[in-house]
Structure 1
């Protein structure tokens, strides 16, 4: 793959997901069959003048009196996963898009969670999407007649924007 082709694809991915840094861009490109390493992606991003959106490391340092949130005594791990999900949602969607109203927010959240579960590479899952990992784990476990409800849910999320979010005026009945 020559640099121009890779740069074109990086540009497309960056315009779609401006929060992807070199690690995740490399993972997405590799999943598409593009042979790149992280240094090449970083070099091309620098050449293109692009950098991922998001906070730099250690942007919020605890102040005096700061206490770690815990559900039970000594169980700081209880909250880590949801806090990480919330952080990802804020920096990858909410802060970038700044939704105008609740209907727009609802549709946007549905799209982001769909992306998060079906497309976004997760480092803890060897740069695979959670649904791909789950489906691999279910091979041979579920009977062949089982219905994948996640696909039905995904279709309903696609139609979520078509649903009214406020009461609709009554139509007059023809007698």
Structure 2
């Protein structure tokens, strides 16, 4: 039985930096470096969260987890019979991914099996090395994405039936996992009772009955799935609600909040903060990094009811146009190709593509015309 590799800090940093570049999907990086895809998410998040520590006084890096818990667990691992019950209880309080990283393959006192028992991890899962998504799953994800644009009310059961009718032998368990991976949520007539990420605050929906009649009054943001030839990426876009202009966007191979905050920072820097920002209740938009940036800019935060597709309908229509007119016409190999393709289309959308809701004029044209019209009024209100 092969021993688990002990990865050096240099190796972890190298993988995390490659993930940050966004040139390859997580599946491709996992295959390239011979590691578990979960490690890529963990190391990338650790790099993003700890990067600021490099510039702190003394170069002290912010810890990823509670150091006291980890020290306590490592100390207790050496105490065999007496500490077993204590370790089992303490292990439950530490994230499972962290516990897996704590197992030492070369330990003269404790076997891997005993360490797994002490840390409440199954021995088989410790040795398991899953591969990236298969070609079949990637093809299914592409079909799910296309069908979801047509029928955004399809849940797991309806999507499973649809794929079976298309000749695919799939079960609900697989489709549920793939739809979660794609961050797809069907619409509902009423908000359901599911919650955002644990510890994240949600905000009420502020747009009901509101007349949106000027640029910068309301912005909206959303995330969508981008199929690639060998894997997938995620795209976030920030749109001006009144003119439909895309103000900023970012592509990432993971779903951390940082790439959303980068797009938000760019939009605020270029156009100034809006009065209201509307999003869904996804963990990226309920994260402290996102909401704190908005609060510090004096922006009121609005969030859709859970699963309320129509509350953010304008961004959903953007995704539909983008995918049919650009994404589905290509099979991008790298993140650079995807960024170039999406960037070219968004430039076309903003500046040249006629928009039916704007009388056939492109969003950017209407944005700056309306901006010029409303600025004198706003200045007069400030003087008054």
For normalisation by structure 1, the TM-score amounts to 0.41
Q: Which has the larger Rg? A: 2
Greater strand share, structure number: 2
Normalized against structure 2, the TM-score is what? 0.20
The structure showing larger relative contact order (alpha-carbon pairs under 8 Å, at least 6 residues apart) is: 1
